[in-house]
Structures are given as structure tokens and as C-alpha cells.
């Protein structure tokens, strides 16, 4: 992480949610000050205003897709930079004040996104229960602890805090569901490359230029840069104008990605650099290798060759 490590963290609250659980996997945050925010914009604004050093907010979910409010915040206001990503498996638990047979449960508190991701499980295991919408996973746990509902769908972190008993673990229709979070700071020099990094960008193409998006993709493809994600969001200026969010394999310090950024700067209406940071892998796996002739070593060799030609060597 560039500069002085952050000590003051804000995150999408309230306490007892998956976002807090993700934040506490970061050692500096576990030992620092953690302040929940009521919304993604509030968490991000605390960083822009200097009230916090970093904010952890959800970026995308493997089931529900991108989090639009986070993307919109990244393309409006003063620039921010992603310095770390955190992947967290989304494993809900069904919990209650005391051990209760599932057949006896009549009401379950759940955030709408939680109940949507567990709909089939609930139908199969608690078909007679009424699911009641609440504002967060933490609120679900609190309501069950208060006796307002028989049980709650909540994050595991909420069980101990509310003295609940787990009735069922890993409650989900898709066991492999994962949420990706981004740690945002004010701009600074990226941490050195690790050899397995991600660079995030937001680009606005010239809408009056034929093949503008293809030109953007070509700048990456011809340099062997793997595009792992592309997402569009309207600019809000007029219908038909968009920002495209790109996640690329590589680091801004590497020659081939640096060349690609220069190319994008020439052809795009706007390029917003959102950071180069280590890729978080839940399971060990080798990074995607560039095609033959397009490695960083190949780029360094060709640059040295051109330099010799210019010097007459």
C-alpha cells in the first residue's frame, strides 16, 4: 500500500455484516480504527474529506453482479485509488436465540439480497416460514436476538455478537458465491508489482467515433494484456454515453501495460486510473501468462533494440 499504512478505516455498515468481516481480514484494519458508514457514498466521502484513510466497499458479487453505486462513486468526485481487493465467500447461516427445529420456524428476518441468494434452500428446508425484509444482515441477527422473529439469515460474524445459536451453516443456493470488495484510498504511488496484479481503469470512449470500443480492446489485446472484466455504466450526461470499467492483468509499472495506458490516453475521451494492486486468490493458481513475444521481458528487449537503432549502435 502506498505511503503510510492506513490506520483509520471506514466501511459499508452496520457492524456485523460481510463487509466488516472482509475488512477484518486486513491486518492493518484488524488493529486500526474501524467505523461503519450508512452507505457506500458516505464511506467514500469520509476518505475524500480526510476523515478516514481508507474505505472498504463492495465492488461486485459473483451472483448479483456489479454494485452500481460503487462504480458511480468511482467516476464522480475527486479521484480515488484501489489499493487492495478482498474476496470473501458469501456463506449465510440460519440462526436463532435457541436451538429450534426448522419445521417450527414461522418467521425469518433477512436482507432481500440474502433471501434471494437462499430462496431455494428456504423453500426446501423451511417452507412454512415467512421471510421478512430487513435493512441489513446485521439487522436480521439483531431482530432474531430480540425475539422479533424466530430466526435470521445473517453473516457468521453476527452470531457471536448477538448470542445466537446456529441452526444451519452455509445456507445458500450457490455454495461458490463470492463478493469482491475494494479498499479505496486517496491517490498515491501504487505498491510495487508482485507478479500477480490487477490494474483497474474507467474509460470514456468518444461516442461519435466508429469502432471506439474495439480500439480500446485492441490496445490491450495487441500487447497480450488479459482483460478479466468489463462493465459499463452511463455517464449521466446524455443517453448513449458510458464509462467502461476494465480490470486488466498486470501492473502500471510494467512496460506492456504502461504502453497500453498511453494508447488509451490517446484514443479515449477520458481515462481514470483506479489502481494497480495484488490479485486476491481464494485458491492458489498461477497467473495468466502473456502470449509468446508479449512478456515484459520481450517488451524490454524490443525497447533496448530500438534504443540501439536510434543511437546508431
Angstrom CA distances, 110 to 97, 115, 167, 199, stand at: 15, 6, 15, 35
pLDDT computed for residue 26 by the predictor: 94
CA distance 7 to 1: 12
> Average pLDDT for residues 32-59, to the nearest whole number?
94
The answer to whether domain 7-89+179-188 and domain 93-168 are alike in fold is yes
Does the domain at 189-298 match CATH 3.30.70.260? Answer given as: yes
Locate the domains of the chain by residue range: 7-89+179-188, 93-168, 189-298
CB 35 within 8 A of CB 71: no
In tens, the pLDDT along 115-144 reads 888 999 999 999 989 999 998 888 999 999
**Average confidence score pLDDT of the chain:** 90
Residue 281 CB neighbour total at 10 angstroms = 11
Task: Give the residue, 292 or 92, on which the prediction is more confident.
Answer: 92
Flag the least confident range among 3-7, 70-74, 101-105, 106-110: 3-7
pLDDT computed for residue 249 by the predictor: 92
CATH class of 93-168: alpha beta
In tens, the pLDDT along 86-114 reads 999 888 999 999 999 999 999 999 988 88
> Average pLDDT for residues 178-196, to the nearest whole number?
94
In tens, the pLDDT along 220-250 reads 998 989 999 999 888 777 776 788 999 999 9
- Tell me the whole-structure pTM to 2 decimals: 0.84
Which CATH architecture is the domain 7-89+179-188 placed in? Answer: 3-Layer(aba) Sandwich (3.40)
Cis peptide before 14 (omega within 30 of 0): yes
In tens, the pLDDT along 142-179 reads 999 999 999 999 999 999 989 999 999 989 888 788 99
Amino acid at each position: 500500500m502506498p505511503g503510510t499504512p492506513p490506520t483509520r478505516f471506514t466501511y459499508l455498515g452496520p457492524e456485523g455484516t460481510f463487509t466488516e468481516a472482509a475488512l477484518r481480514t486486513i491486518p492493518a484494519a484488524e488493529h486500526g480504527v474501524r467505523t461503519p458508514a450508512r452507505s457506500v457514498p458516505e464511506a467514500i466521502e469520509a476518505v475524500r474529506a480526510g476523515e478516514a484513510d481508507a474505505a472498504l466497499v463492495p465492488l461486485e458479487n459473483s451472483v448479483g453482479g456489479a454494485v452500481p453505486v460503487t462504480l458511480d462513486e468511482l467516476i464522480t468526485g475527486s479521484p480515488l485509488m484501489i489499493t487492495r481487493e478482498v474476496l470473501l465467500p458469501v456463506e449465510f447461516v440460519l440462526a436463532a436465540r435457541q436451538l429450534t427445529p426448522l419445521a417450527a420456524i414461522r418467521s425469518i428476518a433477512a436482507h432481500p439480497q440474502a433471501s434471494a441468494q437462499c430462496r431455494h434452500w428456504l423453500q426446501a428446508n423451511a417452507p412454512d416460514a415467512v421471510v421478512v425484509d430487513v435493512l441489513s444482515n446485521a439487522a436480521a441477527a439483531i431482530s432474531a436476538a430480540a425475539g422479533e422473529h424466530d430466526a435470521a439469515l445473517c453473516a457468521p460474524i453476527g452470531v457471536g455478537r448477538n448470542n445466537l445459536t446456529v441452526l444451519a451453516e452455509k445456507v445458500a443456493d450457490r455454495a461458490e458465491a463470492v463478493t469482491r470488495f475494494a479498499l479505496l484510498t486517496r491517490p498515491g504511488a501504487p505498491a510495487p508489482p508482485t507478479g500477480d496484479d490487477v490494474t483497474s481503469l474507467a474509460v470514456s470512449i468518444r461516442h461519435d467515433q466508429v469502432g471506439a470500443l474495439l480500439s480500446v480492446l485492441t490496445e490491450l489485446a495487441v500487447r497480450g494484456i488479459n482483460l478479466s472484466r468489463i462493465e459499463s455504466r452511463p455517464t449521466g450526461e446524455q443517453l448513449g454515453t458510458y464509462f467502461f470499467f476494465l480490470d486488466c492483468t498486470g501492473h502500471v509499472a510494467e512496460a506492456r501495460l504502461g504502453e497500453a495506458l498511453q494508447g488509451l490516453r490517446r484514443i479515449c475521451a477520458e481515462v481514470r486510473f483506479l489502481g494497480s494492486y495484488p490479485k486476491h486468490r481464494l485458491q492458489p493458481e498461477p497467473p495468466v501468462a502473456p502470449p509468446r513475444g508479449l512478456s515484459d521481458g520481450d517488451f524490454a528487449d524490443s525497447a533496448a533494440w530500438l534504443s540501439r537503432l536510434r543511437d546508431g549502435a
